Structure 1
């Protein structure tokens, strides 16, 4: 699933292509809004909110989309061949005289009143890449339920908006605890450092396609634990472990966890299930 840095980058690309321009074509290929026509309206802005995308138009309308696991927005110059998937996977087209923004495999797409945006994103916690970023409030929300496993608390968008499974795994590693450690058992000062690190990592990655949390130079070592099952930990050399459904099965990414048994202290999935 795309995380906050990817969604921010997508919004930035869409904003550059569409904002301040008039739509010459509008095609929303979802049954509920198939007859909606935005042609002739100016695009005001494209704003990310955690993992949500808000494309605002004159006249008080907003196109709300969420990429989830498979969705993607692609931007093409007028006349350029579209390369994002077969025609039947297109869910939205927003075109101007200069560019076409094409939404592929979008699992969630709705047209709402701009004044009602809070109904769909108002529940989100402080946005790690947004103007409302508030580290104190983020720590308060993250630690509000002391018995909750850290991994779950990090993925809950009501606590911090923008963290997905990659950053969940990497943040737990950098905090030297397993994703199953209850947040109430984090050592003093660690919640504050976790939140600060989350903000720093997403800021550092929002402008680059190749996500990186380490200082290693080899691209195979861009991440400490995520996706590195059975490979040696970059710090201690012990094999990284993975818990969750087999990679061959199509399952939500947040059900998978990676961790280093040598560097990360706390309960594991196995110990949690047996207690």
Structure 2
């Protein structure tokens, strides 16, 4: 599932293509929205909220989407006659759930996990359950920590993945900061100090912001000026230390990395860890 940094980049791409432009037409391919028409509305902005996307239009309407596991939004140049519905192999795929287009571009929402139209004033109906967004300029760190610590027996890895506590973290930004601070994902939150938990959250936010700035892949030759001096911690978004590297040696101690389940079904997730650097705590005494 795309994490907060990937959703932020998607929102930025859509915003740059659509903000200030008039939609010529729309095609929302879910039964509840099949007759909805967004034509003749200006796009005000496209913004992320955790892992959700909010496409705000004039007249107080928001097109809300969530990418879930396989969803994506792509911006394509229009090749059809002005006013005609865009047609191309990308727009005609059976997995496409949304098309919105201007005179010059078409935004294609493919394999979207959620698609809704809501009143902008009532966006809380679809995102109001989320905790503070790590990529929000006004991120409420105190509230995020309070949310994480409200149930002391919950495993920290599971608490970080719960979007009701803080929004935007997925398995990458739970796995990597916990490894950085030598914290087992299975440590109950109540066994961590506020300082230790805060350090994990701060690292997750720092690295998500870095990913937004640098992108998910190394810059092409000639565009690497920002990498002439590596970050002091050495972490880069295209060179994960342990995420997705189960079965390989730990970069810190050489122990074989493992991926194990955390949380309860249907919300259980696989999380990679080093059994030596991140010692799993013994069960609490009854």
| TM-score by shorter chain over 0.5 | yes
Q: Are residues 1:210 and 2:217 paired?
A: yes
- 8 Å CA contact 2:207, 2:237 repeated in 1: no
The Cα of 1:225 is off from its aligned counterpart by 1.4
| Structure-1 separation of matches of 2:183 and 2:237 | 25
Alignment partner of 1:189 out of 195, 201, 211: 195
| Structure-2 separation of matches of 1:205 and 1:199 | 10
Q: Deviations over 1:101-133 (max 9, x none)?
A: 000011210111111101211121111111331
Cα 1:195–1:239 shift into 2, 3 Å: same
Match of 1:92 in 2: 98
Match of 2:259 in 1: 242
- 8 Å CA contact 1:165, 1:253 repeated in 2: no
Alignment partner of 1:146 out of 152, 157, 177: 152
TM-score, normalised by the number of residues in structure 1: 0.88
Cα 1:172–1:217 shift into 2, 3 Å: closer
| Structure-1 separation of matches of 2:204 and 2:237 | 23
- 8 Å CA contact 1:165, 1:254 repeated in 2: no
Match of 2:207 in 1: 201
Number of aligned residue pairs: give it.
262
Q: Are residues 1:233 and 2:247 paired?
A: no
Instruction: Give the secondary-structure state (helix, strand or coil) at the position aligned to 1:256.
Output: strand
Cα 1:17–1:82 shift into 2, 3 Å: farther
Cα 1:105–1:79 shift into 2, 3 Å: same
| Structure-1 separation of matches of 2:54 and 2:141 | 23
Instruction: Give the secondary-structure state (helix, strand or coil) at the position aligned to 1:6.
Output: helix
Q: CA RMSD in A?
A: 2.6
Alignment partner of 1:259 out of 237, 260, 273: 273
Instruction: Give the secondary-structure state (helix, strand or coil) at the position aligned to 2:131.
Output: coil
The Cα of 1:237 is off from its aligned counterpart by 1.1
Q: Name stretches of at least 5 consecutive residues in structure 2 with no aligned partner.
A: 81-86, 219-230
| Structure-2 separation of matches of 1:9 and 1:254 | 27
Please give the residue correspondences for 1:110-125 in structure 2 after superposition, counting only pairs within 5 Å: 110-125=116-131
TM-score, normalised by the number of residues in structure 2: 0.85
The Cα of 1:192 is off from its aligned counterpart by 1.4
